[in-house]
Copies of this chain bind each other. A is one copy, B any other.
Amino acid sequence: MNRNIETFIGCECEYSEATTVVFGAPFDGTTSFRPGTRFASKVMRSESYGLESYSPYQDVDLYDLSIYDGGDLDIPFGNTTKALDMIEEYTAKVLNDGKTPLMIGGEHLVTLGAFKSIFNKYPDVHVIHFDAHTDLRDDYLGEKLSHASVIRRVWDLVGDNRIFQFGIRSGERDEFYWAKDHMYTNKFNLDNLDKVVEKIKDKPVYITIDLDVLDPSIFPGTGTPEAGGITFKELMNGILEFRKLNNIVGIDINELSPQYDTSGTSTAVACKVLREMLIVANK
């Protein structure tokens, strides 16, 4: 009689034997419009059993791999700095133990916590960023630490020409103009992803997927749905493109707010993206 263990489907490995560590960062403290991403990882874990562990896209089964599910971090409420510190620390532990972290947000700001540890270990890291929004404000209502400025904070670390944005279709005029001088921004879709992948395929690469890059027709369960996004098949093709990267050092998937999509489709989509990215990370 063992106590009740809950994991994402196919992520039942012990920590010591795992090559990849998936964990949740249930933080939505700076969300400006509609909160709720704090529920994402828990709901995904539960709903993942509606999904098969086998991917017909990559012909791999999650049970072929060695993945540990660390559960959710115990993040406090109302203290953004402490939340990011906890994420940074957990990621550092995973990296130090030689494993690849795959974090489930939470709002997009959680990326900053994980990325600090990534950058520490891989100063040469490049970033692929899928999103509907630029996330490049220098601050938001005076706050430097905000979901709306997270990629700007990442840029503070890596500097120019190391960030590659795709699917962007919302932001302030200033953000779009500023981006032109500092990073590669592909508006509206994933065009040229193949060229970017070809160019950085031997670099350490961190991938951050804000799921609102998807069109809200297939992913309405997010705080700020932005019409005009990519289809699931386009995202799937992007994921398959990632298989050409030789050194993926970390991944995050964020901005699912499951309660806004009562059909459960958005959660099922997030689970499928997670399955495929876990396979990509173990390619």
Which residues of A does B touch, CB under 8 Å? 1-7, 12, 14-15, 28-36, 38, 42, 45-46, 49-52, 54, 56, 59, 61, 68-72, 74, 76-80, 82, 109, 140-143, 145-146, 168-173, 176, 187, 215-218, 220-221, 223-228, 231-233, 236, 260-265, 268-269, 272
Q: Chain B contacts of A232 at CB under 8 A?
A: 215, 217, 227-228
Q: Chain B contacts of A169 at CB under 8 A?
A: 56
A186 to chain B, nearest CB (A): 12
Query: Is A141 in contact with B77, judged by CB distance below 8 angstroms?
Result: yes
Query: Is B31 in contact with A220, judged by CB distance below 8 angstroms?
Result: no
Give the residue of B35, B143, B217 whose beta carbon is less than 8 angstroms from that of A35. B35
Query: Is A78 in contact with B216, judged by CB distance below 8 angstroms?
Result: no
Q: Chain B contacts of A14 at CB under 8 A?
A: 3
8 CB < 8 A contacts A-B: A54-B173, A56-B176, A77-B140, A215-B218, A216-B265, A217-B232, A220-B265, A227-B265
A32's nearest neighbour on chain B, judged by CB, is B77
